[in-house]
Structure 1
Amino acid sequence: MHLNPPFRAEHIGSLKRPAALLQKRKELDDGVITAEELLPVENKAIDNIVKMQQEVGIKSITDGEFRRHMFYDGVFDNLEGMTYLPDVPLHMFMSYVPDTAAFKHHSFKKAASYICEGKLRRTKPFYKSQFEYLKSITSPEEHGDIKITVCAPEWFHLRHGPYAYNKEVYKNDVEEYFDDVAKAYQEEIQELYAIGCRNIQFDDPLLAYFCAESMIEGMIEQGVDHAKLLDLYIKVYNQCLEGKPDDFNVGVHLCRGNFRDGLHFSEGGYDRIAAKLFNEIKADCYYLEYDTERAGTFEPLRHLPRDKSVVLGLITSKFPQLEDVEELKQRINAAAETIASGVEPRSKEEALNQICISPQCGFASHADGNPVTEADVVKKLSLVVKTAKEIWSDA
């Protein structure tokens, strides 16, 4: 099986921002400096973080999301028809969504967000400049392995439900709204491919929320058909990927929240969605959180088909403590045994060849990051590489 990308030793995307970058970003937010003045600071930080990945042995190079405030930046903030609202009333955030429920619990009165108020059009690239800068600081041999992380297409729709888009524009037709969303992603993928990108990763905690009983119960209480909505989101993914070239690798990352201080928003294994996730979404690989019991057991991996791979997020990015290599190897072998005895039986060797490993999430989904240092990040990623090399000779 071809696993390049993803590689045996992966990382999710966001990395710990250096203090100098955080300070300059604060100055930008405060109006002290301009975006042009921030740019060289970002570039230097990205130069250093790419060098770190190369030295550690992580081959799927990212820019650490150092040009973003939040992991989902890039699409809807650049899409014509979307409007940034700094003070969205909380009734426009769906209470059944685990992260918005957490904000309401902490007595937030309003929150910033994007709402669709006009017809959606992609009038400019989303991630082109981020990819081009990474190309400029890596060798030609590495260009095909650069990984760009992208926003999930249903991000603002799940959060805002009936308030997500203007009913006068889309006549209360959610499929017409998503047709335009999907068209924008298709155009972005084609442009990224044309400039040499071969590897993207959708960051999608929302799909994992469908594993949470709290969200399912909340949807039922509000008359939302959760099964129908999940099917719609799967359809949207496949629309977004229509026409993608065969040698363009698409991964989907699912986690349960990784906010400041390692805060998570939901719990529940992948059992409820595994069959659809692995067999209906036309992705190539899945990055799954598996560092704590909140993610459930390996049993859902029984549904993994032979032509896809899974990246097990066995190493936490939330805290600095290092995992034990031998325990990690035992868990990898246990996952392989589960896949081997699954819906499509196969040898353990074949199943093991479908597995890669990574941290369970990024180290800084939010710019402020988790309670880990830059040195901790190096140790964690080094552990990923060390474990992979002890399991697979091609790592």
Structure 2
Amino acid sequence: MSAIKLNPPFRAEHLGSLLRPDYILEARKKFDKGEVSAEELKQLEDKAIKDAVAIQKEVGLCGLTDGEYRFYDGFFDHLEGFTDVAHPPREIFKMYVPDVRAFLAENTKPAATTLCTGKIKHVKSGYLPQFQELAKMVAPEEVKNIKMTLAAPEWFHLRHGEHAYDKAVYANDEEHFNDIAAAYRVELEILYNAGCRNVQIDDPLLACRFSGVSADFCDVSMLEAMRAEGADPDARLDAYIRLYNNCFRDRATKLPELTVGLHLCRGNFRHSMHFSEGGYEHIAVKLFNEINVDTYYLEYDTERAGTFDALKELPKNKSIVLGLITSKFPELEDINELEARVHEAAKIMASGTGETEEEALQRICVSPQCGFASHSEGNLIDAEGMKNKLKLVVDLANKIWKN
């Protein structure tokens, strides 16, 4: 682990994505049809992002994001060696992956995807322009407070397995992963040199794919389906952990002030639906002890995510962001009940480390369980409801830590 402060960057956090204004969604559709220019689209995005920053500041959040309004640009899109496939065959998708199964259940034709067809090389940063544009909209002293949300390094491999890359280019997963990690290290260093000090990796399926304890998609049958294809779930999880750690290999020396968080949840499928269930207990030891990140953003807004028992495995040099407040619906949670749950989590954390409950409490932050618009349509909540939820996060943090 790099020598980074133990506490989360801010007591009150949010998960990055905010509801996208209708005019942004409409402009994007027109852009895809060639009816709106890239500059016209950017101007509308800039307006929406300025408004998003204003909302975050108004409710009292310190950590700032661009609402993920430029969500069409990312990491893999700009790597040499990856190719967009407009009409992929269904057979290259792994049906045991929860969101793949959910999407393909709704659509007879799979959505476009991205596959590795050549040697991977980092040639352009997709995130740097997003960071720089957001940095222009905040005061110089606030640039360090910007949080960038990055794609999970195993994103396409998880969905496509052996179909994710050309075997004529990479003989095995490890070769493929090594070049992804090398590109990831370049991306992180570019962002860091530009002033970025806080990144959040979005990986909603890392936990649910390997826990095997749900009545929905995240169940034993999914793991059996993996084994039926010749894949070892435990070995696959270990390979993904090695990939993560390879991505962060040099950060202790090259990126000493960078805070890295890992977000895992049960999914915000379209219109406030989830696509998986189950607790973190079955992978807690590896999740919390073997991945070289500083903090974990975990969904805990309903019983669907299990109990806090997994938090016993969280080591003293790491922190947790408890997603106790739902982003799916406008009804506000009771702040006293939320406070009690935070103290319950601290007590369980302390039971695993031998520290006091108060010491464990200092390693906790609070947030919604997920973003408000994991998909373009957003959740069943309006802008005012979203604002109230964000305010509740801040009020809860202030009530507990007296900030």
Q: Do these two structures clear the TM 0.5 threshold for a shared fold by scoring above it?
A: yes
* SS of residue in 1 equivalent to 2:78: coil
Match of 2:124, as an amino acid?
K
Q: Pairwise CA RMSD of aligned residues?
A: 1.3
Match of 1:390, as an amino acid?
K
How many angstroms apart in 2 are the aligned matches of 1:148 and 1:219? 32
CA-to-aligned-CA distance 1:180-228 (integer Å, 9 cap, x gap): 1001110011111111100000000121222222432321232210000
| 1:293 and 2:303 correspond | yes
CA-to-aligned-CA distance 1:119-158 (integer Å, 9 cap, x gap): 1111001200111111111112111110000000000001
| 1:96 and 2:92 correspond | no
How many angstroms apart in 2 are the aligned matches of 1:3 and 1:169? 41
| 1:320 and 2:319 correspond | no
* SS of residue in 1 equivalent to 2:257: coil
How many angstroms apart in 1 are the aligned matches of 2:282 and 2:104? 26
How many angstroms apart in 2 are the aligned matches of 1:223 and 1:347? 45
Give the aligned partner of residue 222 of structure 1: 229
Give the aligned partner of residue 160 of structure 1: 160
The equivalences for 1:1-395 within 5 A come to: 2=5, 5-69=8-72, 73-171=73-171, 173-209=172-208, 210-211=210-211, 212-213=218-219, 214-244=221-251, 245-342=255-352, 344-394=353-403
Shift of 1:107: 4.8
How many angstroms apart in 2 are the aligned matches of 1:373 and 1:345? 43
How many angstroms apart in 2 are the aligned matches of 1:277 and 1:312? 16
How many angstroms apart in 2 are the aligned matches of 1:390 and 1:2? 22
The sequence identity of aligned pairs, in percent, is 54
Contact 2:8 2:319 in 1 (8 A): no
Contact 2:6 2:294 in 1 (8 A): no
* SS of residue in 2 equivalent to 1:267: coil
CA-to-aligned-CA distance 1:350-395 (integer Å, 9 cap, x gap): 011111000000000112211111111100000000011000023x
How many angstroms apart in 2 are the aligned matches of 1:329 and 1:167? 52
Contact 1:78 1:124 in 2 (8 A): yes
Shift of 1:108: 2.3
Contact 1:89 1:111 in 2 (8 A): no
* SS of residue in 2 equivalent to 1:165: coil
Indicate the larger mover: 28-37 or 7-16.
28-37
TM-score, normalised on structure 1? 0.96
How many angstroms apart in 2 are the aligned matches of 1:113 and 1:264? 21
How many angstroms apart in 2 are the aligned matches of 1:390 and 1:200? 26
How many angstroms apart in 2 are the aligned matches of 1:301 and 1:104? 34
Shift of 1:90: 1.0
* SS of residue in 1 equivalent to 2:86: strand
Shift of 1:170: 0.7
* SS of residue in 2 equivalent to 1:341: helix
Contact 2:8 2:295 in 1 (8 A): no
How many angstroms apart in 2 are the aligned matches of 1:164 and 1:98? 17
How many angstroms apart in 1 are the aligned matches of 2:125 and 2:189? 11
How many angstroms apart in 1 are the aligned matches of 2:378 and 2:6? 30
Indicate the larger mover: 162-171 or 21-30.
21-30
How many angstroms apart in 1 are the aligned matches of 2:103 and 2:270? 13
* SS of residue in 2 equivalent to 1:110: coil
Shift of 1:264: 1.4
Unpaired segments ≥5 residues, structure 2: 212-217
Match of 1:379, as an amino acid?
N
How many angstroms apart in 1 are the aligned matches of 2:301 and 2:197? 28
How many angstroms apart in 1 are the aligned matches of 2:107 and 2:153? 28
* SS of residue in 1 equivalent to 2:184: helix
* SS of residue in 2 equivalent to 1:168: coil
How many angstroms apart in 2 are the aligned matches of 1:350 and 1:48? 37
How many angstroms apart in 2 are the aligned matches of 1:327 and 1:135? 37
How many angstroms apart in 2 are the aligned matches of 1:285 and 1:374? 28
Contact 1:155 1:206 in 2 (8 A): no
Shift of 1:5: 4.6
Number of residue pairs matched? 389
How many angstroms apart in 2 are the aligned matches of 1:221 and 1:255? 26
Contact 1:60 1:147 in 2 (8 A): yes
Contact 2:365 2:397 in 1 (8 A): yes
Unpaired segments ≥5 residues, structure 1: none
Match of 2:43, as an amino acid?
P
Change (3 A) 1:37 1:24: same
How many angstroms apart in 2 are the aligned matches of 1:266 and 1:215? 11
Shift of 1:3: 5.7
- Runs (4+) of structure 1 exceeding 3 A deviation are 1-5
CA-to-aligned-CA distance 1:66-107 (integer Å, 9 cap, x gap): 0114xxx50111111111011111110001111111223335
How many angstroms apart in 2 are the aligned matches of 1:56 and 1:2? 25
